[in-house]
Chains A and B, each alone.
Chain A
Amino acid sequence: MRLILLFAAFVVLGLAFESAVPHLVSFRALIPNLIIILVVDLGLRHHGVGPAMLAFAIGYATDALAGSHPGLNAFMMTMVFLVSYGISTRLMVTNALVGATVVFFGVIATALATVAFADGFNALSDTGSMLPGLTLQAAISAIVAPFIFSMLAASKRMTGLPVRAKRE
Chain B
Amino acid sequence: MRGSFLWRNRVLLTSGVLLIVSLHLISTGVHPGDLAARPESAFLEIISPVDAAFTRLSDGVSSIATGYLDLVHVREENARLRIELARVNSDRARLSELEVENRHLGELLELKDVLGAKAVAANVIGSDATGLSRTLMLASGSSDGLRPGMAVLANQGVVGKIISISPHASRVLLIDDHNSALDGFDQRSRARGIVAGLVDGGLILKYADRSQDIRIGDTIVTSGLDGIFPRGLLVGTIQSVHRGAPGLFLGVRIEPAVDFRELEQVLIVTQPPPHLDDPAKD
A interface, CB within 8 angstroms of B: 12-13, 15-24, 26, 28-29, 31, 33, 35, 47-49, 51-53, 55-56, 59-75, 78-79, 81-82, 85, 111, 114-115, 117-119, 123, 126-127, 129-130, 137, 168
Contact = CB atoms under 8 A, between A and B. Distances in A.
Interface of B: 8, 10-12, 14-15, 18-19, 21-26, 29-30, 36-37, 39-41, 43-44, 46-47, 50-51, 53-55, 57-59, 62, 124-133, 135, 137, 163-164, 171, 173, 177-179, 198-200, 261
A65 B128 contact: yes
Considering the complex of A and B, which 10 residue pairs feature the smallest CB-CB distances, nearest first? Answer: A71-B25, A75-B22, A20-B54, A19-B126, A66-B129, A65-B129, A64-B43, A70-B30, A66-B130, A71-B26
Nearest to A86: B12
A22 B59 CA distance: 12
B178 to A, nearest CB: 5
Contact of B50 (A16, A70, A117, A137): A16
A115 B199 contact: yes
Given A20-B125, A75-B22, A64 B58 contact: no
Contacts of B57: 20
Given A65-B47, A129-B200, A19 B127 contact: yes
A71 B126 contact: no
8 contacts: A35-B129, A52-B15, A65-B43, A70-B26, A70-B164, A71-B30, A72-B22, A114-B130
A63 B133 CA distance: 11
B40 A82 contact: no
A15 B132 contact: no
A117 B47 contact: no
Nearest to A127: B199
Contacts of A31: 131
A61 B43 contact: yes
A12 to B, nearest CB: 6
A13 B24 CA distance: 28
Contacts of A68: 133, 135, 163, 173, 177, 179
Contacts of B21: 56, 71, 74
- Which label, helix, strand, loop or mixed, suits the secondary structure of the B interface? helix
Contacts of B127: 19, 22-23
A78 B171 CA distance: 24
B121 to A, nearest CB: 18
Given A78-B15, A123-B178, A130-B199, A33 B130 contact: yes
B25 A70 contact: yes
Nearest to B132: A114
A18 B129 contact: yes
A125 B261 CA distance: 26
B58 A62 contact: no
Contacts of A85: 11, 15
Nearest to B36: A70
